[in-house]
């Protein structure tokens, strides 16, 4: 008679055999040297050992992997470019890590429909280049574009810097193909612009963080390519002044495509790590970076709108591509500069836009109360009331800092996760943003689609109370 240990070893060997049959032995990684880069997230905060890393090449192989895992009762964690910031795509310990980076198919651009099909592993940069080569563009853009993949953007309903103009990832999604927890495949890739046949499963998968199904490819809306750009950096006394100029800019500039908020401490970090010059001769407390994009040069319109905006301490408008990149660097290098200083507590919150000044004003005192030595670095997407609150030097007080900030956000009618997802990092606080009825409905959906709880366990939904 075999012992329980022998049974476990036999079951594990048989799962590995099935996975090797599904994707080929070269794409089932078990050696620690080979799996390590998949097992720690970008921030260095979340890490765990995977049972193995499996790298399928297409939907059929993903389905075979999921079927094998379902048969073995083996939990699966799904990963794209591993640029996530909430621990939603790295193992907690012992899961099969399903990496989708080989799903790189990219269909021909359909100009009639203004659409394209893209595999889950296509990077955002590749998707953008592909659309631009056909005279179109993709509506979502963000700093991690070179590594972030389409599957991850869908899983988190990613936002980024162009939500003001085109909306988040869900607004670009016209169809999807996905593998359900039992290995069956749902495919809605026709790209119908109107479809009134019941539940929007594609929309539901967007933002579900891999907990309901594994999205393997998507049909995406494309937008007109607008090659002429103008970028301005406005120096402001505070967040309140930045919010006050926003409606005027939006109304005067129909081609406004980005409005990003940053502050002196973040700018100082970016300048230190990126060796960048000061944007203005004087130091200022807050900054609004705005961009317009159009078919014809929007510089004059932007200059006029900036001249008429009240409350500015200074302003600079970049007229050529190099100058525009230099201004964007002050904003886009925040994440790297913060990580170069240490492992931050990373929070991504939103409040109704009008309440953003109150959030900004109360953040530092609320953080100081629980972690007096910590340093908050704050920046974000001002139009959506979305602040990235990064706290350096919180050490063992990380949980208390998160709790204090997220409770403040809830008090201001905000969301504990605006665009990064809930992951493992924020599950404990989900009830600050979702009612018991909503959480019960989400749990019912999870149970219906993944009754054994094998897809991304521990992500998004808190463990049920026993
Ligand atoms: C950004 O807006 O740059 C990203 O959401 C990344 C971050 O918050 O670190
Ligand atoms: Zn962001």
- Helix%, strand%, coil% for the chain, nearest 5: 40, 20, 40
The CB of 350 under 6 Å from ligand 1? The reply is: no
Closest ligand to 84 CA? 1
* DSSP tag of 395: G
Q: How far apart are CA 382 and CA 265, in angstroms?
A: 17
Instruction: State residue 116 phi and psi, 5-degree precision.
Output: -155, 150
Residue whose C-alpha is closest to residue 16's, from 84, 59, 61, 72 = 72
SS in 3 state form for 409-464?
HHHCCCECECCCCCCCCCHHHHHHCCCHHHHHHHHHHHHHHCCCCCECCCCCCCCC
User: What's the CA-to-centroid distance between 332 and ligand 2, angstroms?
Assistant: 9
**CA dist 370 → 107, 316, 426, 429 (Å):** 51, 38, 18, 17
**pLDDT tens, residue order, the chain (466 aa):** 677 677 777 777 899 999 999 999 999 999 999 999 999 998 888 999 999 999 999 999 999 999 999 999 999 999 999 999 999 999 999 999 999 999 999 999 999 999 999 999 999 999 999 999 999 999 999 999 999 999 999 999 999 999 999 999 999 999 999 999 999 999 999 999 999 999 999 999 999 999 999 999 999 999 999 999 999 999 999 999 999 999 999 999 999 999 999 999 999 999 999 999 999 999 999 999 999 999 999 999 999 999 999 899 999 999 899 999 999 999 999 999 999 999 999 999 999 999 999 999 999 999 999 999 999 999 999 999 999 999 999 999 999 999 999 999 999 999 999 999 999 999 999 999 999 999 999 999 999 999 999 999 999 998 776 5
**Tokens 């490819």 appear where?**
217
How many CB atoms are located within 10 Å of the residue 46 CB?
21
Sign, CA torsion 319/321/326/329: positive
- Structure tokens belonging to residue 49: 């050992």
User: What's the CA-to-centroid distance between 419 and ligand 2, angstroms?
Assistant: 7
The CB of 388 under 6 Å from ligand 1? The reply is: yes
- pTM of the full structure: 0.95
The CB of 79 under 6 Å from ligand 1? The reply is: no
Cα three-residue angle 210-212-215, rounded to 5 degrees: 55
Please check whether residue 390 is in contact with residue 346, taking contact to mean a CB–CB distance below 8 angstroms. Answer: yes
The CB of 143 under 6 Å from ligand 1? The reply is: yes
Residue whose C-alpha is closest to residue 351's, from 378, 377, 386 = 386
């Amino acid at each position: 008679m075999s012992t329980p240990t022998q049974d476990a070893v036999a079951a594990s060997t048989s799962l590995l055999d099935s996975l090797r049959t599904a994707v080929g032995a070269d794409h089932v990684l078990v050696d620690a040297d080979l799996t390590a880069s998949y097992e720690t997230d970008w921030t260095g905060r979340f890490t765990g050992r995977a049972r193995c890393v499996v790298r399928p090449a297409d939907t059929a192989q993903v389905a075979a992997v999921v079927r094998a895992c379902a048969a073995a009762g083996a939990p699966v964690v799904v990963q794209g470019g591993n640029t996530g910031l909430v621990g939603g795509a790295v193992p907690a310990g012992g899961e099969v890590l399903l990496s989708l980076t080989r799903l790189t198919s990219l269909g021909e651009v359909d100009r009639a429909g203004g659409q394209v099909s893209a595999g889950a592993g296509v990077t955002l940069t590749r998707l953008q280049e592909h659309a631009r080569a056909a005279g179109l563009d993709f509506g979502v853009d963000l700093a991690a574009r070179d590594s972030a993949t389409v599957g991850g953007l869908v899983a988190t309903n990613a936002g980024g810097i162009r939500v003001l103009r085109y909306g988040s990832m869900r607004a670009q999604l016209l169809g999807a193909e996905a593998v359900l927890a039992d290995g069956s495949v749902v495919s809605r890739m026709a790209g119908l612009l109107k479809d009134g046949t019941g539940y929007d499963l594609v929309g539901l998968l967007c933002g579900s963080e891999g907990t309901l199904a594994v999205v393997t490819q998507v049909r995406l809306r494309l937008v007109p390519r607008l090659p002429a750009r103008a970028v301005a950096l406005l120096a402001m006394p505070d967040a309140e002044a930045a919010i006050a100029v926003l409606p005027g800019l939006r109304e005067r500039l129909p081609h406004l495509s980005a409005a990003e908020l940053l502050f002196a401490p973040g700018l100082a970090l970016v300048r230190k790590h990126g060796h960048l010059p000061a944007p203005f001769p004087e130091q200022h407390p807050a900054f609004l970076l705005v961009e317009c994009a159009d078919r014809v040069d929007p510089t004059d319109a932007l200059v006029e709108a900036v001249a008429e905006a009240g409350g500015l301490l200074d302003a600079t408008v970049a007229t050529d591509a190099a100058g525009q990149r230099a201004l964007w660097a002050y904003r886009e290098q925040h994440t790297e500069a913060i990580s170069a200083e240490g492992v931050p507590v990373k929070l991504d919150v939103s409040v109704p836009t009008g309440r953003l000044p109150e959030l900004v004003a109360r953040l530092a005192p609320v953080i100081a109360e629980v972690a007096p030595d910590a340093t908050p670095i704050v920046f974000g997407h001002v139009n959506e009331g979305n602040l990235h609150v990064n706290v350096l030097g919180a050490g063992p007080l990380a949980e208390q800092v998160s709790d204090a900030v997220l409770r403040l956000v809830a008090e201001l009618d905000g969301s504990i996760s605006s665009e990064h997802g809930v992951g493992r990092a924020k599950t404990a606080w989900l009830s600050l943003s979702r009612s018991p009825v909503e959480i019960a409905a989400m749990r019912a959906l999870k149970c219906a689609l993944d009754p054994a709880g094998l897809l991304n366990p521990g992500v998004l939904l808190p463990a049920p109370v026993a």
